[in-house]
Amino acid sequence: MKGLFITFEGLDGSGKTTQIALLADYLKRKGREVITTIEPGGTTLGDRIRQILLDKNNAGMSHKAETFLFEASRAELVSKVIAPALDSGKIIICDRFFDSTIAYQGIARGLGAEKVMELSLWATDGIVPDLTFLLSVDVEGGEKRLSGSSKNRDRIESEEEKFKQRIFDGYIELARKYSGRIVLIDARQKIKTIFNQIRERVDRELDKL
């Protein structure tokens, strides 16, 4: 049986973690082998890179260095986890993938969406998600949902709201450009309502396998 690669995108506070857990549980109950993972991270090397990227002490990191670190983590994750899982017919659900890097670094940081996409495809050996759910919540809504005080936020969560607005706009741009792959969902809805929309779309994808 062919594998399926599903990713979740959105601003911090959009509810990705909750929906990923619900979807993984649903698919396992249907008898499918499911692996959930996260970017950056998901491997020993990736977890170390994640610590560097999220560390507030690295606030002065250059935009290019930041991008290459994300791509290094991604290349390792694809090589060690994603590609082998897909080859063995498993379903991979990933919390963020290259759309995040395009929105954050390519668009919001101004490095160029096409350039970051090209770099990402090199890192993934051309592997692209079969389906991406973009949970859309505006900057204000995401900020309200983030738990803890500002002191507990990581380097990226601590970015100014103008930067986060550029990310939001970048995501919407990507959803329009890749509408066949990216499913835009209003994350202001009830958790169950959101999940039902996700479940219905995933079921359609599974029927194609």
Choose the CATH number for 4-208 among 3.40.50.300, 3.20.20.190, 2.60.40.10, 3.30.1360.230.
3.40.50.300
Ramachandran sector of residue 64 (left: φ over 0; alpha: ψ -120 to 50; beta: rest): alpha
Smallest CA-to-CA distance from 164 within 145, 149, 179 is with 145
In the chain, the percentage of residues whose pLDDT exceeds 70 is 90
- Give residue 149's pLDDT band: very low, low, confident or very high (50, 70, 90): very low
Strand blocks (E) in 107-157: 131-136
Task: Give the per-residue pLDDT at 142.
Answer: 63
Provide the residue ranges of all domains of the chain, joining segments of one domain with +.
Answer: 4-208
Element housing 92 (H / E):
strand 91-95
**Average pLDDT for the chain:** 92
Residues in contact with 16: Cβ distance below 8 Å, sequence separation at least 6, in sequence order: 8, 9, 10, 95, 96, 135
pLDDT in tens, 65-110: 999 999 999 999 999 999 999 999 999 999 999 999 999 999 999 9
Residue with tokens 């479940």: 199
Size of the chain in residues: 209
Predicted model pTM: 0.92
In the chain, the percentage of residues whose pLDDT exceeds 90 is 80
Show the tokens assigned to 187.
Answer: 């994350």
pLDDT in tens, 32-45: 999 999 999 999 99
What is the average per-residue pLDDT within 187-192?
Answer: 96
pLDDT(186) > 90: yes
The phi and psi torsions of 15 (rounded to 5 degrees) equal: 100, 20
